[in-house]
Amino acid sequence: MMNSANSNNHHQKHRLAWLRWAAPLAVFLLLLLLFWRGLSLDSSTLPSPLVGQPMPAFSLEMLHDASVLKTEQDFKGQVALINVWATWCFACHHEHPMLMDLAYLNRVPIYGLNYRDDREAALSWLEALGDPYQFTVFDPDATVSIDWGVYGAPETFVIDQKGIIHYRHVGVITINDWETVFLPLIEQLEQAA
Amino acid sequence: MKKCFWVIWVVGSFSVWAAPIEPYEFANETDRALFQKMTHELRCLTCEAQSIAESNAPWAQDLRREVYRLIQEGGDEMAILTFMTDRYGDSVLYKPPFNQATWVLWLGPFMLLLLGGFILGRIVSRQKGN
């Protein structure tokens, strides 16, 4: 009786022996896949639902002259960058020299969207560090920035000639971003027109 | 000494509950309740793991103001959710919709539960057989 139970048990064990290494291996591979995917996702840069859409309409004062109102129509005409910035934004300090280089390069016009800022502070920033923008619109209470889906600064939008948004970049533009993402997209948009 | 530590720990942890207070006034309780509900259902994108109701981040303040404005303009729950997802996508929702990108998220736990139950059942029936 005892013997037969043992042999039965032994038989079962033998039959399922491969599970002993296959099951943990399968779990390991599954976790590897999940972590590989999960950790390579950057949850801080969200995709913008505005990509593929026309620019949200707005009417804002120009930073340099409160009596001049600018609208989204003033951004149209050629492929352009719209850069969301603020003087309180630490990363914007980092990005500013890059924007100056891009302005010097003069590949595409850059427009500024000043976000939740103080006009005097913003003006003296541009005075001290240089002004890379064609012009900047002033959005102190973020009403327009919210329509653009802005949730931080800096953010940079690429628009085409007709004002369709094609890309939203969250964070500082690096030289690598410019060469691998912005420039190819700009060329593609210019050729498509 | 130990007691002192516990008192500090307990009192200190209350600050986490401190909700931002803004002088928003509502015409009726329905609007107030809708404001509470919506601000708790919208995720603060600039501060991890907080709703826009709980966060003091400037961005969350702006969004509370927008929710308030939409309610004042007569917007219902659907109007507010559409306003937010049109600008910020599904990431702004604490309860993401069921779609192609999220089905694993929604069904994953149940599939794991089923798998676990199946394995448990196999083990139990085998032991009974023995």
* CATH (residue range B2-97): 1.10.8.640
Instruction: Return all residues near B79 (Cβ < 8 A) that are at least 6 apart.
Output: B70
Q: Is A171 helix (H, G, I), strand (E, B) or coil?
A: coil
Determine if residue A142 is left, alpha or beta; phi over 0 gives left, psi from -120 to 50 gives alpha, anything else beta: left
Alpha-carbon dihedral A48, A157, A63, A59, rounded to 10 degrees: -60
Q: Does A46 reach chain B within 8 Å, measured CB to CB?
A: yes
Residue A23's alpha-carbon distances to A17, A32, B112, in angstroms, are: 10, 14, 15
Please check the confidence at residue A98 and state whether its pLDDT lies above 80: yes
pLDDT digits (tens, 9 = 90+) for B64-80: 999 999 999 999 999 99
Q: What is the pLDDT of residue B21?
A: 65
Task: Give just the sign of the alpha carbon dihedral B18, B20, B26, B31.
Answer: negative
Q: Does A58 reach chain B within 8 Å, measured CB to CB?
A: no
Write down the domain spans for chain B: 2-97, 100-130
Structure tokens at B5: 């530590």
CA B64 to chain A, closest CA, distance in angstroms equals 12
Please check the confidence at residue A168 and state whether its pLDDT lies above 80: yes
Contact A152 B89 (CB under 8 A): no
Question: Rounded to whole angstroms, how far apart are CA atoms A123 and A120?
Answer: 5
Contact A49 B126 (CB under 8 A): no
pLDDT digits (tens, 9 = 90+) for B19-65: 566 789 999 999 999 999 999 999 999 887 899 999 999 999 999 99
Question: Rounded to whole angstroms, how far apart are CA atoms A107 and A187?
Answer: 10
Q: What is the pLDDT of residue A77?
A: 94
Q: Which residue has the higher pLDDT, B17 or A88?
A: A88
Please check the confidence at residue A2 and state whether its pLDDT lies above 50: no
CA B84 to chain A, closest CA, distance in angstroms equals 9
pLDDT digits (tens, 9 = 90+) for A36-94: 888 887 766 788 999 999 999 999 999 999 999 999 999 999 999 999 999 999 999 99
Please check the confidence at residue A6 and state whether its pLDDT lies above 70: no
Q: Given B58, B62, B91, which is nearest A46 (Cβ)?
A: B91
pLDDT digits (tens, 9 = 90+) for A20-32: 888 889 999 999 9
- ∠ CA A52-A156-A183, nearest 5°, is 80
Q: What is the pLDDT of residue B97?
A: 84
CA A106 to chain B, closest CA, distance in angstroms equals 30
Pairing of the two strands A155-159 and A80-85: antiparallel
pLDDT digits (tens, 9 = 90+) for A114-162: 999 999 999 999 999 999 999 999 999 999 999 999 998 999 999 999 9
Q: Give the mean pLDDT of chain B.
A: 86
Q: What is the pLDDT of residue A40?
A: 80
Cβ atoms of A167 and A158 closer than 8 Å: yes
CA B121 to chain A, closest CA, distance in angstroms equals 16
Q: Given B46, B66, B85, which is nearest A49 (Cβ)?
A: B85
Instruction: Return all residues near A183 (Cβ < 8 A) that are at least 6 apart.
Output: A107
B45: chain A residues, CB-CB within 8 Å:
46, 151-152
Q: Given B59, B126, B130, which is nearest A151 (Cβ)?
A: B59
CATH 3.40.30.10 fits A59-192, yes or no: yes
Q: Which residue has the higher pLDDT, A67 or B94?
A: A67
Q: What is the pLDDT of residue B19?
A: 57
Q: What is the pLDDT of residue A61?
A: 97
Q: Quick one: average pLDDT of B81-107?
A: 89
Q: Which residue has the higher pLDDT, A106 or A19?
A: A106
Please check the confidence at residue A1 and state whether its pLDDT lies above 60: no
Q: How many residues are listed for chain A in this entry?
A: 193
Structure tokens at A134: 């064609």
Task: Find the residue in A nearest to B60 (Cα).
Answer: A151
Task: Find the residue in A nearest to B104 (Cα).
Answer: A34
Q: Quick one: average pLDDT of B101-114?
A: 89
